[in-house]
Amino acid sequence: MIFSTPSRFEPALQVASNRSGPVLWFVFHKNNILVIKNTETQEVSIPLVEHATELGLIVTREQYLGVLNGVPCYAAEAAYEALTNPGLEWMGLRSLFSLVDDELFAISGRAFQIIDWHRTHQFCGRCGHKNVQKEGERCLRCHDCGQLHYPRVAPAIMVMVQREKDFLLARSPHFIPGMYSALAGFSEPGETLEETLEREVFEEVGVRVNNIRYFASQPWPFPHSLMIAFHADYVSGEITPDPQEIEDAGWFNVNKLPEKLPSPISISRKLIDATIASLT
């Protein structure tokens, strides 16, 4: 609906045998992505070269992602942070939002998740032996016991609870001062998304809800979540924040908004904006 695979991007596991010419390199060191920055205009772009070595880097791992508008795309991890080529800069992935187009930002998030998976699954969690790339799949296979290790995706719900023209927002102790957002939480084994939503809302603020309605989803590469957002209606209960997770929570409306809302990059902001728009 709102957050979808870039229209010109074709995911793939294997590069075409006749590939030639420059490719887009989504290179990471820890949580930062490499960009080319124009010192005069301050514009940034994703490096487009034939191989990452042209950027003066040693690459410890790389994964083919697919093709964007005919241009192959690779994710890679740099061995060190130091940069020798002028014009290159490390940038936090969140900071890249709005500096490149939506398609490049979406692929950057995909690239980060795949490289993070590859880096953290070099050895089998079952027997400790070395994993190897499984042909034909985005998967690492234990060379000894055969255990398969796919990229991790952690489903998490987000919900806008409405009570007539009021909606429920809360703040985590980890938020920047003054910011409130919609409630959210991770699914547990054996739960449907609807069961997760009902449990999380009750655990976090002591409120019961019904009439759950899907809004949209968003891959959230910090580091490997899939956010699934919903609307729901208030049924009963007084707001009682769980002190372990919620610093404050309350009912808001279009005439009474928090001092700060989440970044436009996030599905939480899209959910809040859509709710406000429906009430005005």
Query: Which of 66, 94, 120 represents a domain boundary (last residue)?
Result: 120
Q: Is the pLDDT confidence value at 2 over 60?
A: no
Q: Nearest-CA neighbor of 262 among 276, 244, 280?
A: 276
State how many domains the chain has: 2
Q: CATH number of the domain that 208 lies in?
A: 3.90.79.10
Phi, psi of 180 (to 5 degrees): -125, 155
Split at pLDDT 50, 70, 90, the class of 6 is low
Q: Determine how β-strand 23-29 pairs with β-strand 71-78.
A: parallel
Q: Nearest-CA neighbor of 201 among 149, 166, 245?
A: 245
User: What are the pLDDT digits (tens) for 144-194?
Assistant: 999 999 999 999 999 999 999 999 999 999 999 999 999 999 999 999 999
38 occurs within a structural domain: yes
Range of the domain at 274: 154-278
Q: How far apart are CA 164 and CA 152, in angstroms?
A: 38
Split at pLDDT 50, 70, 90, the class of 140 is very high
The chain-wide mean pLDDT, for the chain, equals: 93
Split at pLDDT 50, 70, 90, the class of 15 is confident
Return the higher-pLDDT residue of 38 and 210: 210
**Sign of torsion, CA 188 194 197 201?**
negative
pTM of this prediction?
A: 0.88
137 occurs within a structural domain: no
* 100 and 196, same domain (yes or no): no
146 occurs within a structural domain: no
Q: Is the peptide bond before 221 cis (omega within 30 degrees of 0)?
A: no
